[in-house]
Amino acid sequence: MTVGQITGMKPLPILTPRSDAEGLGPRRPAKRSRDLGAWLSGCTGRKADRTFRIRLLVQGAFALTCVLLGIQFARWVDAARAGALPLPERPAGVEAFLPISGLMGLLDWVYQGNLNVIHPAATILVLVAIALALLLRKSFCSWVCPVGFLSELLARFGRWSFGRNFRPWGWLDIPLRGLKYVILGFFVLSILAMSREALSEFLSSPYNRVADVKMGLFFTDMGMTGALAVGSLAVGSVFINGLWCRYLCPYGALLGLFSWASPTRIRRNADTCVSCGLCDKACLARLPVASRNSIMSAECTGCLNCVAVCPVQGALEMHMGRRPVSPLAYAAAVVGLVLVVYAGARATGNWQNAIADDEYVQRIQNIRSSEYGHAGR
In total, how many domains does the chain have?
A: 1
Is residue 84 situated within a structural domain? no
Contacts (Cβ under 8 Å, ≥6 apart) of 322: none
pLDDT, tens digit, 9 for 90 and up, residues 178-237? 999 999 999 999 999 999 999 999 999 999 999 999 999 998 888 899 999 999 999 999
Q: Phi, psi at residue 180, to the nearest 5°?
A: -65, -30
Query: pTM of the entire structure?
Result: 0.86
Is residue 127 situated within a structural domain? yes
Is residue 78 situated within a structural domain? no
pLDDT over 90 for what percent of the chain?
80
Is residue 375 situated within a structural domain? no
**Average confidence (pLDDT) over 283-300:** 94
**Average confidence (pLDDT) over 7-16:** 38
Question: What long-range pairs does 243-246 form, CB within 8 A, spacing at least 24?
Answer: 243/151, 244/147, 244/151, 245/141, 245/147, 245/148, 245/151, 246/176, 246/177, 246/180, 246/285, 246/299
- What pLDDT does residue 250 have? 97
**Average confidence (pLDDT) over 40-63:** 79
pLDDT level of residue 64 (50, 70, 90 thresholds): very high
Is residue 376 situated within a structural domain? no
Mean pLDDT of the chain: 88
Is residue 256 situated within a structural domain? yes
pLDDT level of residue 51 (50, 70, 90 thresholds): confident
Is residue 192 situated within a structural domain? yes
Q: Is the pLDDT of residue 37 over 90?
A: no
Q: In sequence order, what E strands does the chain have?
A: 264-268, 294-295, 316-320, 323-325
Q: What residues make up the domain containing 199? A: 3-29+36-72+90-355
Is residue 77 situated within a structural domain? no
**Average confidence (pLDDT) over 52-80:** 96
